[in-house]
Structures are given as structure tokens and as C-alpha cells.
Amino acid sequence: MTQALSAPEMVARGFRLLAVALGLGFVLAGCTTTEQTEKKTAKPPSSEQSKLLNIARDVEAKGESGTALALYERAAEMSSSDSTIHVKLGNARLKNGDSDGAEKAYRSALQINPQDAHALLGLGTIQLQRGEADAAARTLAPAAQAINSVSAYNKLGTALILSGQGPAAESAFAKALALQPGNLDTKTNLALAQALSNKLPEASAGMNAVVSSPLAEKRHYVNYIIVLSLSGDMAAAKAVQVPDMAAGQKNQILAKASRLRSIQSPAERAQAIGVLAST
């Protein structure tokens, strides 16, 4: 049986955060410059730590996440001066579904190095999952600037939009789009942020371009309906043909989308959009 998503998770999924699985992948998405900087500034691990980390990486690549986690635990116990080892532990714990343990590891890394961008990204991601939008925005801002990846800026933009900071969210999504101009999910995020800032013509044009792509998927069409509904153009919203969606489900989405304009709070409206977009 599929486990039901919590409300914050549904919101985040609705805004299509990249690497939403939140495992090791989001750390590896960091740019080469950041990785090289870490290698220059972090204290080299001992030979035994290096051996443990190498083995952990190899077994993790084979899908043996439990064994890898145990090895990262041992390596972290041996380190009180290398934040990157604690970040690796946090990533492994998060991959195994232990968000509380991952948070502790990321905080341990930040006690060693308060500027560790990957630790900030991990902590901010957990805060975003829990619906702590304001805290996530504060944590993710320096992380996104340092890592400069599509994933990091999309997460920052989502935190900002859910905390009611529309213009700042637009800026974050625009930076993500500049890094990968063809990314349809980022284009959708930007259009939703524009719609929430009442830049409705721009949002509609952006989503029209998204659904015109041969790579557009059902979620993109749903978000197009949402943007058109926010624009007050319910006739156009009804005319959108959503692939692989039954008429009854589409009618439910249209009914909920039509009520979005009545929500006055930008943050509450963003949360409602996130939940609706995840259906």
C-alpha cells in the first residue's frame, strides 16, 4: 500500500522540486567548483576514514544502503574536524528515511563548519519537507548561492514562495532556469511564482510554452489549468486537454482551481496550489 503524503510533502511535490527523493543525489548535483573548494579547505580524512568512505561509496553504488550507512556512521564517529564526512552521513540517513538522524548529522557538520553549503542544503531540504518554509528559506539562501545548481535554486524558490515571498521566489527560479533553460519543471515553478505575484500574462505565456513542448507531462498540463484559473480564464482552463486524465478528475481539479483566487494570503494560496498540483 502506498503511504499517504503529508501536507508539506504534497506542497513540495506540487512545485516539482528536482531531486525530491532527497537522497545522495542532491549533494552530487553541486557544481564542480564547490566540490573543489571543499577539497582544498577540508582537513583530509585519515587513511582509515578514507578506506571506510571508499567502501561505503562502493557498496552504496551497489544498492546496499544499510551497509553503507553503517560505514558512514563509523567514519563520522572518528571525525570531529571534517564537516564533509558528517554531510555524507546525513545524506545516507536521509536516503534511509531517517530525517531526524539526518538533521543531527547536518547540524554536526555546521558546528564544524558553519559555511558548509551542502550541510545547509541538507538541513534546508528537511525543513522544507516539514513545512518550515521561513526557516528553509533562510537556510537554503546561502546554500543555493554557493552550490549554484538547478536543484538548490528550485528548493530555495519553493521555500520562498511558500513563505509568501513571491518576487524573491521568482528570482530563485529564474537563476535555476538560467542554469538549465530547457527544464520544464523550473519553467513551471517560475510561472506559478509569477501567477502568485499577479503577473498573469507572463505566467500564462510561460505555461503555454511549457505544454507546447513534446516533453510536457500530465503535471505540466495541470499547472497550466491552475495558472489559467488564477488568471480568471476558466473557459481556457476547461479547454486544456490533459493527457491520460479522466474527465471526472479534471472536473475536480477545475472546481478546486476556480477557488484559488478567493484565497487572499499568498502563502496560503501557494500551499493550496502545491496540494492541487500534486493530484
> In this predicted model, what pLDDT tens digit does every residue of 196-237 receive, in sequence order?
888 999 999 999 999 999 999 999 999 999 999 999 999 999
Give the closest residue to 93 by CA, choosing from 109, 70, 110: 70
Residue 176 domain flag: no
pLDDT of amino acid 88: 93
pLDDT of residue 251: 95
Report the domain count for the chain.
Answer: 2
Shared domain check, 125 and 219: no
Please indicate, yes or no, whether residues 106 and 41 belong to a single structural domain of this protein. yes
The Cα–Cα gap between 233 and 223 comes to 14
Task: State yes or no: pLDDT of 32 exceeds 80.
Answer: no
Indicate the residue among 165, 200, 217 that finishes a domain.
Answer: 165
Where a domain ends, among 134, 165, 196? 165
Residue 174 lies inside a defined structural domain of this protein: no
CA distance 258 to 62: 48
Does the pLDDT of residue 167 top 60, yes or no? yes
Q: What's the pLDDT score for residue 128?
A: 94
Same domain, 28 and 161: yes
Does the residue 252 lie in any domain? yes
Q: Are residues 204 and 278 in the same domain?
A: yes
Predicted pLDDT of residue 41: 40
Q: Are residues 187 and 159 in the same domain?
A: no
Establish if 160 belongs to a structural domain.
yes
Q: pLDDT digits over 110-146, tens only?
A: 999 999 999 999 999 999 999 999 999 999 999 999 9
| Cα–Cα dist 143/251, whole Å | 40
171 found inside a domain: no
Residue 60, in any domain of the structure: yes
Domain identity same for 255 and 153: no
**206 and 277: one domain?**
yes
Q: 3-class DSSP state for residue 69?
A: helix
**Rounded Cα–Cα distance for residues 95 and 73 (Å):** 14
- pTM value is 0.79
30 pLDDT higher than 80: no
Domain assignment of residue 173, yes or no: no
> If you count DSSP H runs as helices and E runs as strands, how many of each does the chain have, helices first?
17, 0
Measure the CA dihedral 95/99/104/108, to 10°.
Answer: 40
- % of residues, the chain, pLDDT over 90: 62
pLDDT digits (tens, 9 = 90+) for 54-101: 887 887 787 777 888 888 888 888 877 899 999 999 999 999 999 999
Residue 92 vs residues 29, 67, 206, 257: alpha-carbon distances, Å: 15, 10, 37, 38
Q: Where a domain ends, among 115, 134, 165?
A: 165
22 and 158 in a single domain? The answer is yes
Within a domain: residue 132?
yes
Mean pLDDT throughout 9-18?
50
Residues 8, 82, single domain; the answer is yes
For 149, phi and psi rounded to 5 degrees?
-120, 160
Query: Do 149 and 191 reside in the same domain of the chain?
Result: no
Same domain, 159 and 31: yes
CA angle 142, 147, 153 (to 5 degrees): 70
What average pLDDT does the segment 232-243 reach? 95
Per-residue burial over 180-198, b = 16 or more CB atoms within 10 Å of its CB, e = otherwise: beebbbbbbbbbbbbbbbe
Q: From 171, 168, 136, 172, select the one nearest 153 (Cα to Cα).
A: 172
Q: Are residues 187 and 266 in the same domain?
A: yes
Which structural domain, as residue segments, surrounds residue 101? Answer: 1-165
Contact criterion met (CB below 8 Å) for 148 and 183: no
pLDDT tops 70 at residue 248? yes
Q: CATH number for the domain including 35?
A: 1.25.40.10
Residues 6+ apart with CB under 8 A from 36: none
Task: State the SS3 of 94-110.
Answer: HHCCCHHHHHHHHHHHH
